[in-house]
Structure formats: structure tokens, C-alpha cells
Amino acid sequence: MLENPSKATGDHLRPKGWTADARRIIDIRSKKHVSAEDPVRKDILDGLRSSPMTLPTYILYDAQGLQLFDAITRLECYYPTASEVSILTQGARDLAASLPDNSTVVELGCGSLVKTRLLLYALERLRKKTSYYALDLSSSELKKAINGLDSGLKYVSVTGLHGTYDDGRKWLARARTKSSGPLVVLWLGSSIGNLSRDDAASFLSQFVKESLVPGDMFVIGIDRRNDPDIVWKAYNDDLGITRKFILNGLNHANRHLDQVFRLEDWEYEGIYHKRGGYHEAFYIAQRDVDMRGIVGNESGHFPAGTRILVEQSWKYSPREATILFDRCGLFPVQRWTDAAGMYDLHLLHVPPFNFSISCLDPTHVPNLDSWEELWKSWDLVSESMMPDEMLQEKPIPVRNECAFYRGHVPTFFDIKLTEAVPELRPLEPVYFHGIFARGIDPDLDDPSHVHWHSETPQTWPSPDAIMKYKATVRDRIKCMYSNQTLTRRGWRAIWMGFEHESMHLETLLYMLLQSGTTIPPPVPAAMVFGIGGQPCSFPDTTTIELHDIELGMMDSEDQDDTVEPASAHEFGWDNENPASISSVSGKLEVSRKLITNADYLEYLREIGSQRIPQSWSGTVVRPTVKTVFGAIAFDMSDETGPAQWPVVASYNDLQGYGKWKGHGWRLPSEVELRVIYDYSAKGTSTDGQCDIAQSNIAFKFWHPTALAPEIEIAGPGSMGVWEWTSTVLTRHEGFLPGRLYPEYTADFFDGKHNVVLGGSWTTHPRLSGRRSFRNWYQRAYEFAFVGGRLVRDAL
């Protein structure tokens, strides 16, 4: 419930003796409409003076327009309503169950509430206390709609909000208080389609930035790019109701423009643009029309055939929807699709931090906004999920205690920065450089064989001391960005510190997964369930042609003394250098997805092994998958749940699985896997970058996922884990140890480490998005978020 919203608007609290047929409507319109200039008139005139000419879409929705729209929604050809009704008829309970108790649900453009009532009644049946606010433009229609809802609702309170979307956004930002419960913004009817893709992204982003906080949600109905004939018919019905609806917009405009539009001068025309994926509704002048008196100057002369655009209806493929959400910092939690696969209802979550996949520039120095998001993620994982009580724990026995990682990340940064920028001195306390410089990563075959690492002190510094140090290091990073004399080496240290922290975020999470004391993250539990299932039309394997490809990138350190801006140079780790062409030919039969938990369980049962991977708990008879939310049992018949997630296991174990499969099945080499990734991107990768728009990386989900049905073949991070390759990490031709961090790769040329590619659900998009980025682990290492897929030579 929003704390006393009436106070924010000057409205009165619900009066005594209130009944459902007198549900309250709060007027939240900005007071512009009482000023000298009528804002609707201004919008109309601005549109008529612009090129191309437009009228605001909202003029379609006066009281008469809303009634006509309601009639449209009942037409058989207007499939978006039928699709959304079918989704809500089946899924309202599921959706209601995913919304938190005591939430405030605000619906944008609620219309007649025919569909919304399905959700409200489901919330009532589940006894979820909900404050529902219905927002729309016409107060008379709003009154009818909200008073038409069941008067006996006990758990769901209903209030109207009279105003525009913008008024609603501003009102929410004002009315919300610290004690308000989570906010859910409901936007049905594919109304988002009335905005262009860019405007939709700005609209949602502004909402997220100004009115929402982490933990809030959006529920958005979106029409897909369906058969063009079906889409066109939806907006061009035989009974002419859509025509009446659009032409009625001129009546509405006339009320603000002194009756300047004569309806007989104008006709409706609808056009669907198949390539762009949007329908447009126009007014077409039937004869020369002179409106110079009102529009002013020559732009008011409309020759016969003049078009005025009044409405666009943009359609979204699942991929376009994913890109839209990423641009706005909204993470998909769940998706419901109608049986015909024409329409989606998305449940989205405002995450505690946001590593945007779009707007990515993975070879250059990250900006300060990216640092801020990384710090939020680091604090959440290293402090909220790993409380002080865990600091002495060693969730992975061969690695350091948890305490080490809290101190290591800021210390590493300070060490590299002071090496790269001669005028800097180590920050206090300087002795941190001695105890936090490098962690333990022993040879698994002989744990006594271990690289140089910092001495473990008798007692670690206090959490407060580490926190203070971290804050000072962060201040130092911020200062660096305004340093006009920084050399490329200085920027390299900043770039390196960022990617190093991102990698440690991942390390910490796979460690925390092994501990029983980890606190789950503050994201909705519904995220555990993953993407809604749908039939997949792709075969289990695809045969692809292998070909020569370029691997790596060019990043010499010879010019590191140059003073230059952050954006001047492209950075990569020493093992990414130099770029080279790798030759590979022939045909490869490639599995569409990675080896799943269900596949691996079947294998263990077949060979009679009791040895489950470290990513599971329980037994072979009743195994569970470890997640940050706790262990989850896997039901072999569930098509989207943990049984269909990729199994996380060592290279050796997955290679064993391949051998058991026989018939030439094996894990791919590094070059083969890159060719597979390029194939999966279908040419959408740009120079030096991977296509990761559909990947489950960057905490889109807080666990691995089944492969989405619309993906033909898994690409980097598609299922939320890295992939093992059969390529042993070796010193390649032209390799030079990085001068700022010489041991980064060179310490691992022991023949025991294999290259892994892609990314996991925890991987920063900079790493998964940079085509030259490579990771590696010992073949026997079981803990990292790495799975594998089988390939075999094709004839």
C-alpha cells in the first residue's frame, strides 16, 4: 500500500460508509490543463506542424473511443485481446502467486478491466493483500470500470487514478515511502506497441529510474511479429469498428481545436510494415483541406492524399523483447505465451544491480556507471550473501577462507594501480598488499604444489577495516577518471581491476554455492522456475561447416607510456594476444544444447556410479541441484526446470560422459566452439564482439537455465554456464606475458588446464561479449560454473 497517497495528491481518505460502487478516483493530472494553454491542443498543433505529420495517439481514447476500443477487443480478428485473455485465464493464478504479498499494483491504461479482473480475482483467491490502482485518461470510463469489479473483494483494494502515464510515473515517485510494499506496474493490451522501440526503451527506463526500486516489477503484455495478413486484419476489420475508432479521434481533437476537422474530409488507412514489424494508422485527406487559420502558415494546407499518423503498433520477436528489457534494466523472471505462440505476457524484475548487455563496449575501459553497478553486485555477494559469520569458512577446501576474497579485490586493484601510476603510493594500511595480493589455487593432483600466494595471517583484519579500505580504493578509482595525465598503462590497470573484480564475483558465487550458510539474494523466488516452456521446432543436432577463423586481438603494451583518454585503446588479457588465423575444416555434427542434469543422471545410473558432481547434493537416487536459493530436486519430466539445466561438472567427468555415449561423441576444441558460436549468432555478432542478447549471463537468472525453445543452437552462455573445450591451455605463438600482471596466464601452462568459452549466469557481459576472451580451469576442477556439449565429425 502506498503510504497515504491522498496526502500526496491532496485527495481525501476513503470516507466512512464507503461502498464498492463508490470506489475512489484520485485526480493525479498535472495542473497544466488549467493554465492558459490547453496541453492537448498544443500537442495536436505541434503534431500537425511537424514532419511527418502526426496526431497524439491518446486522442483516440476519449470516453467514446474507449467504448469503441472495447468493441474492437471483442472482434474475432483482434487476436491480441483473445491471446491475452487465454494467457490470463490459464496463468492468472501463476502470476498472482509470483507477486509478493502487500504489493501495490498500478495498471497503466487499464481500459475496461476485462482482463485485469482475472488477475485481481486470482489475488483475492490466494488471499494476497494487494492495493490495486487503475490509471486511465477518462474519469467517467474509469469510474464505470472500477465500479464494475466485484464489490466483495476483501484482500484487494481498488482505487482509480485519473491521469496520463507521465502523471502516473510522477505520482508514484511522490507517493512512495520507505514503508510502501513492492510495486508492480501492469501494462496490458500491448499498449507498449504504441511507442517506437526507442521510445518504449526510454519510457520504461524513465519509469525504472524515477519511480521503481530493486525488487519492484513490471508485467507487460506484448504482441509478437505474427503473420502479416493476420496483423493487418486485426486493425482493419470488416465491420469497420477500427475505422470508427480512429475517426472518432478527430471528434476528440475537434473539442480542443474549435471543430476544425470535418469528418467527411478524412478517411482511415492501416498499413503493416513487415520488415520493421509495426502497423500504422493514418488519416488520409480525401480532398484539399485548408486549416491554415488554425495551424498557422503554409503547413496548414493539406492537399488531397495528405497522411497524418495517429497510431503505431510495434510487434516484438522474443529476441527484440529481450533486447528491450536489457536496455531498460529490467530482468525477465517469467514469460507466459498463448498456445498459438502469438503473444507474450512478461514478468520483469528491477534487479539489485544491472550489467547491461546492450550499450556494451567490451574492449574499452568501463565507465564509472559500470563500476557503480559492479560495486553493487560485489557488495551484495561479498557482504549480504556472505555475512561476517562465514568469513572463517572454506567452502572449497583447496581455496582460501572467505575473508581473503573480501580483501583481495580492492588490494589487487591498489597494487596494480600503484605499479602503473608512478606518482601513487599504496593506500593505508599498506600491509594489506602483503596478505591479500594473491590467493591459493593448487594443483588438484598434488595440492602441496601451489603457485606463490600471500601468507595467510593468524587473524584476518576486521570486516570494518576491510570495508573502510575498499571505500578508499573506490574513491581512488573515481578520482582516476578525472586525471588528465593518465597513461595507457594507468587505464590498463583500471580496465584490469574491473575485469578482475568481475571474475572474482563469479569465483565467490561458485564458492558460496558450496556453503550451507549462504544467504539467498533478494530477487524473487519465481526466478528459480525459469523461462516458460513451449514446443521447440529445432532438431537435437545440427551439422555445420567448419572454416578458418580469426582468434584473439591486438593489444601490444609497447605504447603504454602514451598519455591518452580512456577510450583511445582496446584492451585484452595477455592470452588474447596476438590475433591469429586458425585453420579448421570439414563438417561437425553439433548438439543443440549442453549435456543436461537429466542426461548426466541417466549416465550415472547406467554405469552404476554413486559419484554425483559437486554441483548436486543428495544421492543418485534422489539428487538435487545446488542453487543460491538452496537445493532443488529435479523432476526428470519437467521440461524447463533443473533437469533440463546444463550439468556443471569437471572436464574429466564430461569427457567420460562423451565416451559412454560412444559413436564419436566428444567435447569440441576451442576453434570448433568458436565456429559454433559464430554459427549460432547468424551474423549478428559485430567486429570483435559476440552476440549475447539471448544469453543467460549477467545475472539475468540467478541459476543456469534450459535452452529457450526459440534458440536453434546454444551460443555463448545460452544456458548460463561456460563450456569446456578439449584445447589445453598452452603458450601460443607470439604470446608475451602481460607486463602489469605477468603471472596471469603464464603460471597455468602446466598442461593440466583446458580452455573454456562462453560465460555463466554470473559472468559480466564484458567478458562474454568480447570474442577474444578465454577462460581456463584444471580438467579435474568441479566447482566452476562450466558444462559441456558433445560434437562429432560428420561425414
Contacting residues toward ligand SAM, per CB under 6 A: 58, 61, 66, 69, 73, 109-111, 115, 136-137, 164-165, 188-189, 191
Q: Which is nearer to ligand SAM, 160 or 189 (CB)?
A: 189
End-to-end CA gap in the chain: 65
Distance of closest approach, residue 174 Cβ to ligand SAM, in angstroms: 17
As a whole number of angstroms, the distance between CA 333 and CA 436 comes to: 37
Q: Which is nearer to ligand SAM, 136 or 670 (CB)?
A: 136
Min dist. Cβ of residue 285 to ligand SAM (A): 25
Least distance (Å) between residue 109 CB and ligand SAM: 2
CA distances from 392 to 270, 379, 398, 403 (A): 67, 18, 14, 6
111 and 76 Cβ atoms separated by less than 8 Å = no
Judged by beta carbon, residue 70 or residue 557, the one nearer ligand SAM is 70
Enter the DSSP assignment of 381.
I
Q: Which of 664, 658, 687 minimizes the C-alpha distance to 587?
A: 664
CB of 75 to ligand SAM, least distance (A): 13
Secondary element (H or E) of residue 617 = strand 616-618
Distance CA 700, CA 735 (A): 35
Which residue, 165 or 777, has its beta carbon nearer to ligand SAM?
Answer: 165
Instruction: State the greatest distance between any 2 C-alpha atoms of the chain, in Å, as a whole number.
Output: 91
- Tell me how far, at minimum, the Cβ of 168 lies from ligand SAM, in Å: 7
d(CA 497, CA 627): 28
The C-alpha torsion from 302 through 303 and 305 to 308, rounded to 10°, is -10
- Name the minimum Å distance from CB 70 to ligand SAM: 8
CA 665 to CA 662: how far, in whole Å?
Answer: 6
Q: Residue 40 or residue 531: which is nearer to ligand SAM going by CB?
A: 40
Count of residues for the chain?
795
Q: How far, in Å, CA of 512 to CA of 375, rounded?
A: 18
Nearer to ligand SAM, 146 or 477 (CB): 146
In the complex, what is the shortest distance from the CB of residue 330 to ligand SAM, in angstroms, rounded to a whole number? Answer: 19
How far apart are CB 96 and ligand SAM at their closest, in Å?
17
Which helix H or strand E contains 185, and what residues bound it? strand 183-187
Which contacts qualify for 139-148: CB closer than 8 Å, 24 or more apart? Answer: 139/25, 139/27, 140/63, 141/63, 141/66, 141/67, 141/112, 142/25, 142/110, 143/23, 143/25, 145/110, 145/111, 145/112, 145/113, 146/23, 146/25, 146/113, 147/20, 147/21, 147/22, 147/23, 148/112, 148/113
With respect to ligand SAM, which residue has the nearer C-beta, 255 or 682?
Answer: 255
Q: Min. distance of Cβ 215 from ligand SAM in angstroms?
A: 24
| Residue nearer to ligand SAM on the CB measure, 234 or 466 | 234
Which residues neighbour 16 within 8 Å (Cβ) at sequence distance 6 or greater?
none
Q: How far is the CB of 136 from ligand SAM (least distance, A)?
A: 5
E strand spans, 198-263: 217-223
Whole-number minimum distance, CB 169 to ligand SAM, in Å? 10
3-state secondary structure of 269: strand
CB 197 within 8 A of CB 321: no
Between residues 23 and 115, which has the closer beta carbon with respect to ligand SAM?
115
Cα–Cα distances in Å, from 600 out to 203, 348, 607, 645? 45, 32, 11, 11
Q: Between 136 and 237, name the residue whose CB sits nearer to ligand SAM.
A: 136
How far is the CA of 15 from the CAs of 11, 28, 76, 477, in angstroms? Answer: 11, 19, 42, 56
Residue with the CB atom nearest ligand SAM in the bound state: 109
Q: Minimum CB separation from ligand SAM for residue 636, in Å? A: 39
Q: Which residue number, 145 or 289, has a Cβ lying nearer to ligand SAM?
A: 145
> Quick one: CA torsion of 311, 315, 320, 322, rounded to 10 degrees?
90
Complex with ligand SAM: residue 73 or 624, whichever CB lies closer: 73
